[in-house]
A = this chain, B = another copy of it.
Amino acid sequence: MKVGIVGGGQLARMLVLAGYPLGLEFRVLDPAADACAGQVARLIQSHYDDEVHLAELAAWADVVTFDFENVPAAAARILAQQSVVYPPEEALAIAQDRLLEKTLFWELGIPAPTFSTVDSLEELHDAALRVGLPAVLKTRRLGYDGKGQQVLHNAAELESAWEALGAVPLILEEFVPFEREVSVLAVRGRGGETAFYPLVDNQHRDGMLRLSQAPLTAPALEQEGFDYARRLLERLNYVGLLAIEFFVKDGHLVVNEMAPRVHNSGHWTLEGAETSQFENHLRAILGLPLGSTAAVGYSAMLNGIGDLPERAAVLATPGAHYHAYGKALRPGRKVGHVTLWATDPGSLPAGLERLQALTTG
């Protein structure tokens, strides 16, 4: 079967590598000639609004999917005219727009931060009063990895924040003083069957994910997370893998955002789960039976941001697995990750310390 992927970054690359053993063929569409998934599958170099190339991909593929959610709505529509497209267009549209996303969370009874839309400096002042400070000012669209957002601590910061971000529609969101951040990776098949990976503990710095650890043993939180994920999967008639990021506050989950795709906080599943998130996303969109999402052992995933630690030093670390994405090194860019895997969770901290020393050294 033929799978088209819009977006040719590391997520597409790992989907492709997971899909070859299933007997699948792939083409990826990306504007960049050096898109890293193009090293492992045929690349259609094309802008996301190029109807001719989108139609070419759709005509070839049995199913089309995405490695990022900011695909123009028009592109998704063109693809859907000639092929089967998963996740559904509505899920993409909602995930692209923080206002739609938060509205959906509230509609489904999923606790989310208070927020207010902001389209002028005046509205920002009003919103700051309503939401309270500190608060987070975010662009409604195209934000990722902490880009397009700013934390506001006091009223004196409003004007400069407005000047930095206000060219586009914004929302102001309650700042959640969280105890930790976690994510749920959920998958739903074409027939409506669902499966959930164990809860993941995430640590961010400067808006980017640095470290994920799984499984996080927190049964009550996990049940909350699975419940919220199930509501989203069903409401969206979702097919594929859906990632949902949460804050933990006062021992309960507060939703942050969702991503309608495989997710950085699920990379540990390559070694640490019976079926990886990549394989399960493919199984779901192709109508194949889902695989077990059970954890195998204990995993920690360290992102390589801007650079990767020296390969030989990583591989000399017991339990370490190296994942280069084939991307040129650039500050702030995710160029690979390292997974640390162990049967005994007690051995993870020492290995992590060693890997972190390599990363910053």
Interface positions of A (Cβ within 8 A of B): 13, 17, 20-23, 25, 39-40, 274, 283, 287-289, 291-292, 296-297, 308, 311-312, 315-316, 318-319, 321-324, 326, 336, 341, 343
Contact = CB atoms under 8 A, between A and B. Distances in A.
Contacts of A326: 20, 23
Contacts of A323: 21
A315 B292 contact: no
Nearest to A318: B292
Contact of A21 (B287, B297, B322): B322
A250 to B, nearest CB: 36
A23 B336 contact: yes
Contacts of A22: 311, 322, 324
A17 B21 contact: yes
Copy total for this chain = 2
Contacts of A288: 311-312, 315
Contacts of A39: 20, 25
Nearest to A18: B17
B20 A40 contact: yes
A318 B40 CA distance: 29
Contacts of A322: 21-23
A283 B343 CA distance: 22
A269 to B, nearest CB: 13
Given A17-B21, A23-B324, A324-B23, A292 B312 contact: no
Contact of A311 (B13, B23, B318): B23
A64 to B, nearest CB: 20
A291 B341 CA distance: 12
A274 B296 CA distance: 11
Nearest to A308: B23
A316 B289 contact: yes
13 contacts: A17-B17, A17-B20, A17-B21, A21-B323, A23-B311, A23-B324, A274-B341, A283-B315, A289-B312, A289-B315, A289-B316, A291-B321, A292-B318
A307 B21 CA distance: 15
Nearest to A24: B324
B274 A291 contact: no
A322 B311 CA distance: 29
Nearest to A314: B289
Contacts of A40: 20, 40
Which of A25, A39, A297, A315 has most B Cβ within 10 Å?
Answer: A315
Nearest to A320: B291
Nearest to A335: B23
A244 to B, nearest CB: 25
Contacts of A292: 318-319
B341 A315 contact: no
A318 B341 CA distance: 23
In the complex, the 6 A-B pairs of residues with the closest C-beta atoms, listed nearest first: A23-B324, A289-B316, A21-B323, A289-B315, A288-B315, A288-B312
A296 to B, nearest CB: 6
Contacts of A336: 23
Nearest to A21: B323
Contacts of A17: 17, 20-21
Contacts of A341: 274
A36 to B, nearest CB: 10
